[in-house]
Amino acid sequence: MPEIKIAFLGFGNVGKALARLMIEKRQELIHRYDLVITTTGIATSRHGMAIDPQGIDLEAALSSELADLNRVDGVNDSLEFIRKCGAQVLFENSPVNYETGQPAIDHLRLALELGMHAITANKGPVVHAYRELTDLARQKGRRFYFESTVMDGAPIFSLFRETLPASRLFSLRGVLNSTTNMILSRMEDGESFDAAVAYCQKIGIAETDPSGDVDGWDAAVKVAALVTVLMDIPLLPQQVDRQGIRGITPAEIERAKQDGKRWKLVCSAERVGEQVKARVAPECVGIDSPMYGVNGTTSIVQFESDVLGKLSIIEENPGPHTTAYGLFADFLNAVRH
């Protein structure tokens, strides 16, 4: 039975959820996919790194914070870890850098150069290095996959890649940022903007500085990633016409409610000749829009292509386990084809 060696670069909420999923699906991988998984490396940001060609016990790694594992001296940085980990698949889960995509791009490039499949939930490398990394992967006969960068584990990139071959995407529209959607949902229930932000921080979906979400940056990065990959037109977040939700007043929310409408931070992109017009801006949507019922952390994206009419995907109840599943599905699709 083929043994596949994997390594985790980054072992936070998502990396740990992926490790739990690997444990949970171990028997199924053996019986349904004829695959045995061995973890040969784990690199954490604060608890050091472990490498073991014989296999690291994932259960132990999840409970011990690597303290009791086989530590390797002389491996002090991420690139060294990638070179020494001996894996065939690297899960890159370093923190996102919207400005440059680094250091994730360097990690993924090195992994591919070494002949590994490179899988990430990090949006930075997709908007800053999609073509380079995809070309490198093709050249090496490996895969650069990143399903979890938009709508967590819901199939978006794999939808087009695997299930909609030879299609041409004309336009997309969606609600892709959970935090602003939760804030708007709570403001409809009478909460102030500040209280709604505080709530999102409390449940862990907003940062201490919420501007990445409320000013539309996260949404713009997602639009840029979708356009770059699905329309094959390189687009940076800075090129997205972007407006956040700070300008929406409680009075406007109340007025919309009385008209049977709701405010949503809508992402959109549309081909115009060889170019694309991409936008993030608040819109007031009515009950017959599929976005109307998309509340709280739910997200939606609607695609218009040459082969189908409108096709929408809605994801409810996301979390680290669904992000982890996106990585896991990427992994299986990389190794089974």
Residues between 145 and 164 that touch its own copies (CB under 8 A): 152-155, 158-159, 162-164
Report the C-alpha gap between 276 and 195 in whole angstroms: 37
Q: Does 318 participate in binding its own copies (rule CB under 8 A)?
A: yes
Q: How far is CA 146 from the centre of its chain?
A: 7
With CB under 8 A as the contact rule, the residue among 213, 269, 325, 327 that binds its own copies is: 325
Query: Least CB distance from residue 57 to its own copies, whole Å?
Result: 21
Q: Does 95 participate in binding its own copies (rule CB under 8 A)?
A: no
Q: In 3D, which of 121, 108, 90 has the Cα closest to residue 13?
A: 121
Q: Does 135 participate in binding its own copies (rule CB under 8 A)?
A: no
Q: In 3D, which of 74, 98, 106, 84 has the Cα closest to residue 40?
A: 84
In the complex with its own copies, the residue whose CB is nearer, 38 or 158, is 158
In the complex with its own copies, the residue whose CB is nearer, 81 or 303, is 303
Query: Least CB distance from residue 177 to its own copies, whole Å?
Result: 17
Report the C-alpha gap between 20 and 261 in whole angstroms: 41
Query: Least CB distance from residue 145 to its own copies, whole Å?
Result: 11
Query: Least CB distance from residue 155 to its own copies, whole Å?
Result: 4
Return the half-sphere exposure (C-beta side, CA atoms, 13 A cut-off) of residue 253: 20
Q: Does 15 participate in binding its own copies (rule CB under 8 A)?
A: no
In the complex with its own copies, the residue whose CB is nearer, 268 or 302, is 302
Q: How many residues bind its own copies (CB under 8 A)?
A: 48
Q: Are 278 and 239 in contact (CB under 8 A)?
A: yes
In the complex with its own copies, the residue whose CB is nearer, 46 or 337, is 337
Residues between 253 and 312 that touch its own copies (CB under 8 A): 287-290, 292-293, 295, 302, 307-312
Q: Does 56 participate in binding its own copies (rule CB under 8 A)?
A: no
Query: Least CB distance from residue 218 to its own copies, whole Å?
Result: 20
Neighbours of 179 (CB within 10 A): 24
Report the C-alpha gap between 310 and 306 in whole angstroms: 10
Query: Least CB distance from residue 309 to its own copies, whole Å?
Result: 3
Residues between 164 and 203 that touch its own copies (CB under 8 A): 164-167
In the complex with its own copies, the residue whose CB is nearer, 69 or 229, is 229
- Which residues neighbour 265 within 8 Å (Cβ) at sequence distance 6 or greater? 175, 177, 180, 181, 184, 216, 219, 244, 245, 280, 281, 282
Q: In 3D, which of 295, 327, 334 has the Cα closest to residue 25?
A: 327
Q: Which structure tokens are listed for 225?
A: 């990633």
Output the CA angle 154-15-203, nearest 5 degrees.
Answer: 70
Report the C-alpha gap between 314 and 174 in whole angstroms: 9
Q: Does 2 participate in binding its own copies (rule CB under 8 A)?
A: no
In the complex with its own copies, the residue whose CB is nearer, 93 or 289, is 289
Query: Least CB distance from residue 117 to its own copies, whole Å?
Result: 15
Length of the chain: 337
Binding site for its own copies (CB under 8 A): 21, 25, 28-29, 32-33, 152-155, 158-159, 162-167, 287-290, 292-293, 295, 302, 307-319, 321-322, 325, 328-329, 332-333, 336-337
